[in-house]
Amino acid sequence: MIRFENLTKSFRVRGERKIVIDNQSIEFGAGRSIGLLGRNGAGKSTMLELVAGTQRPDKGRIVRGGSVSWPVSLSSSFHRELTGAQNIRFIARIYGVDTDALVAFVEDFAELGQHYYMPVRSYSQGMRARLGFGASMGIRFDTYLVDEVTAVGDVSFKRKSEAVFRERMKHAGALVVSHSLSQIRSYCEEGVVLHQGQLFHFPDVEEAIAFYQSLMQ
The tens place of each residue's pLDDT in the chain, 217 residues long, gives: 899 999 999 998 888 889 999 999 999 988 999 999 999 888 998 999 999 998 999 999 999 999 999 887 656 678 999 999 999 999 999 999 999 999 999 999 999 999 999 999 999 988 988 898 899 899 999 999 988 766 566 778 888 888 898 899 999 999 999 888 998 998 999 999 999 999 999 999 999 999 999 998 8
Distance CA 88, CA 4 (A): 31
So what's the pLDDT on residue 160? 87
Q: What is the pLDDT of residue 68?
A: 93
pLDDT score at 161:
85
Among candidates 74, 68, 62, which has minimal Cα distance to 8? 62
Q: What pLDDT is attached to residue 84?
A: 97
**pLDDT value at residue 100:** 97
Q: State the burial class of residue 160 (Cβ atoms within 10 Å of its Cβ: 0-12, 13-18, 19+).
A: middle
pLDDT value, residue 148: 73
pLDDT score for 126 = 84
Provide the pLDDT for residue 12.
86
Look at residue 58 in the predicted model and tell me its pLDDT: 96
Per-residue pLDDT at 41: 87
Contact 190, 204 (CB under 8 A): yes
* pLDDT of amino acid 61: 96
- CATH code that applies to domain 1-67+142-217: 3.40.50.300
> Per residue in 89-128, is it b (16+ CB within 10 Å) or e — as a string?
bebbeebeeeeeebbebbbebbbbeebbeebbeebeeebb
CATH 3.40.50.300 in the chain: give the residue spans: 1-67+142-217
8 A C-beta contact, residue 178 and residue 193: no
